[in-house]
Amino acid sequence: MMQKKSWWILVIVSVGIMIPFMIPYLTLNPANSRVDITSTTQYSILVTHIGFAFIALITGFLQFMDRIRLRNPKVHRYVGRIYVVSVFISGILALAVVFYIENFTKAAAFLTLAILWLFTCWKGYRTAVKGHFHAHRIWMMRSFGITLVAVSARVLVPVLLITYYTFNGFMLPEGRDKMIEEVLNVNIWAGLVLNFVIVEWIILNKKNG
């Protein structure tokens, strides 16, 4: 019961965080973008990437619902295909987005995230095709953990802001804007590391359980 409650809390928090983030892009107006836009191509790539990433998030949650996974295997496979396609489209577009990111730390984080996302999803798909369903579940847990970096990276922003403020002796030597800039350059790394540790801990516990 506690696990189910935790799962639904995660669903609600994830959707609650991502919808407000997506709203400016639903207007299809580059002026509302949260990042600097230099061309129509960049904006089109970014919006499409975000849209398919959100589809991957929703279908990812559906993939791990026992009511679907165990009782409706056909629906599970269909939703799984949508998840895989969404990840591949969004992941490939993420590789293109990297070229528009000026900060090296942030670009490297986004590139690492995209490569790991594509790789883990591919492994999850291939193990399912081969009928290795235990391995399939493990790889899909890793894949979805990376999908959720979009959520955890944003959740960690307040924590990183407090950490930055603390490490600087409770002062802002270069101002508030610089603090926010520094945090937004590393929050993807922080989310990736956090999710990796959590997912691998869950996998290890299942093996020992």
138-171 pLDDT tens trace: 999 999 999 999 999 999 999 999 999 898 887 8
Alpha-carbon gap, residue 25 to 30, rounded angstroms: 8
Q: Is the pLDDT of residue 28 over 80?
A: yes
Q: Is the pLDDT of residue 3 over 90?
A: no
pLDDT at 89: 98
Q: Which helix (H) or strand (E) holds 103?
A: none
The amino acid that residue 11 corresponds to is V
Of the pLDDT bands very low, low, confident and very high (cuts 50, 70, 90), residue 65 is confident
The residue-averaged pLDDT of 110-135 equals: 97
Nearest to 11 by CA among 55, 46, 57, 43: 57
Alpha-carbon gap, residue 191 to 182, rounded angstroms: 15
Q: What percent of the chain has pLDDT above 70?
A: 98
Alpha-carbon gap, residue 76 to 68, rounded angstroms: 6
Alpha-carbon gap, residue 99 to 197, rounded angstroms: 28
For residue 81 the two structure tokens come to 């295909």
Q: Which residue has the tokens 């960690």?
A: 156
pLDDT at 201: 95
pLDDT at 209: 56
The residue-averaged pLDDT of 132-137 equals: 94
CA distances from 152 to 4, 122, 145, 156, 188 (A): 19, 22, 10, 6, 8
For residue 11 the two structure tokens come to 């669903």
Alpha-carbon gap, residue 93 to 108, rounded angstroms: 15
User: How many CB atoms are closer than 10 A to CB 175?
Assistant: 9
Nearest to 58 by CA among 5, 22, 107: 22
| Whole-prediction pTM | 0.93
Alpha-carbon gap, residue 94 to 46, rounded angstroms: 8
The residue-averaged pLDDT of 36-43 equals: 94
Q: Is the pLDDT of residue 208 over 90?
A: no
Q: Per residue in 186-206, is it b (16+ CB within 10 Å) or e — as a string?
A: bbbbbbbebbeeebeeebeee
DSSP-based three-state secondary structure for 168: coil
Of the pLDDT bands very low, low, confident and very high (cuts 50, 70, 90), residue 203 is very high
Alpha-carbon gap, residue 10 to 151, rounded angstroms: 10
Of the pLDDT bands very low, low, confident and very high (cuts 50, 70, 90), residue 126 is very high
Alpha-carbon gap, residue 203 to 196, rounded angstroms: 11
pLDDT at 2: 45
Considering just the CA atoms, what is the radius of gyration of the chain in Å? 18
